Amino acid sequence: MMEKEICYSDLLLLTNDLEENIQQLMDHGADKIELLMDGDRWDEMEQLFSILAPKLKQYPVGYTIHPPAWDTNLTSENKAIRNASFSEYKKAIEFAGMIHASHVVIHPGFCFSSVFNRELAKHRAAEAIQQLCKVAKPLNVKLAVENVGYNGSSLFTQEEFTSFLDSIDETAGYLLDVGHAYLNNWDIPDVIKSTKGRLLAVHLHDNTGVGDDHLPIGKGTIKWKNIYVALSKFAPDCQLILEYAPGTPLEMLREGKELLKKELQLIEGGIVG
């Protein structure tokens, strides 16, 4: 049986030194690392990339890229913010190409008030992602479109999300964030089934159904067993990414990795508890 590759997000080490973060995550068992490009260490992106890329490629680990998550919104009601967000995503894709990252996470946007036109926001999201596909495709980088937003700020219902990419270039696939889906009362195994074939990655973290806590697996109220079964059955090749909150002990990543491997091996072996 092939060993399942587990990716660690560096969210839990946010704002710390990037190379030290990589080393610490590798020391705790990372097979791949998702680099979150937020914080002042990323302020000089254009100058940083050419220096950083050769260094990162020397580490015996793979990468995925998460563009800035705070303050960006591809579907903002403010045109300047939409344009700035697109520019930051474009830079992230170009950097991903430089370090041979397998995908770049794309937040399609948020709708923060009911007075705004959600259909217009979806149209803006589709248009922006189509344009980003043109940047990513020649670089051999996939775009992983994530379900974001809760408490009414999500652009999509479950059904809208799982059909959103139907008319968008195959360079884009889905990233299912389990925590966000749970907060929106989505049927998570059904999302996995509905996006099979285009599900590139899954962000794995827990919460109690109230806030986006990014707790370690098992520390909230998400029912994981059926999620593991659906992943094994419908998305055996998708990238599993542990995305835990800043300040979470690093050892929780190793424990999460071992838990995932154990649960998936039991299911593949026909032993489901």
Q: Which domains does the chain have, with CATH numbers?
A: 6-268 (3.20.20.150)
Average pLDDT over residues 158-170: 98
Q: What does the mean pLDDT of the chain come to?
A: 95
Average pLDDT over residues 106-121: 94
User: According to the model, what pLDDT value does residue 212 have?
Assistant: 98
Pair 49, 94: CB distance under 8 Å: yes
According to DSSP, the residues that pair with 66 across neighbouring strands are 36
State the DSSP H helix or E strand holding residue 111, giving kind and residue range, or none if neither. Answer: none
In this predicted structure, what is the pLDDT of residue 2? 53
Is 273's pLDDT higher than 60?
Answer: no
Does pLDDT of 76 surpass 70?
yes
Sign of CA dihedral 153, 157, 160, 161: positive
Asked if residues 143 and 129 have their Cβ atoms less than 8 Å apart, the reply is yes
DSSP code of residue 199:
E
Which pLDDT does position 268 carry in this prediction?
85
Q: Return the minimum-mean-pLDDT range out of 196-205, 250-259, 260-269.
A: 260-269
Q: How does residue 46 score in pLDDT terms, banded at 50, 70 and 90?
A: confident
Residues forming a β-bridge with 199: 174
Which percentage of the chain shows pLDDT scores above 90?
92
**Alpha carbon 186 to chain centroid distance?**
17
**CB contact at 8 A, 11 and 3:** no
CA distances from 183 to 93, 172, 186, 273 (A): 29, 24, 8, 25
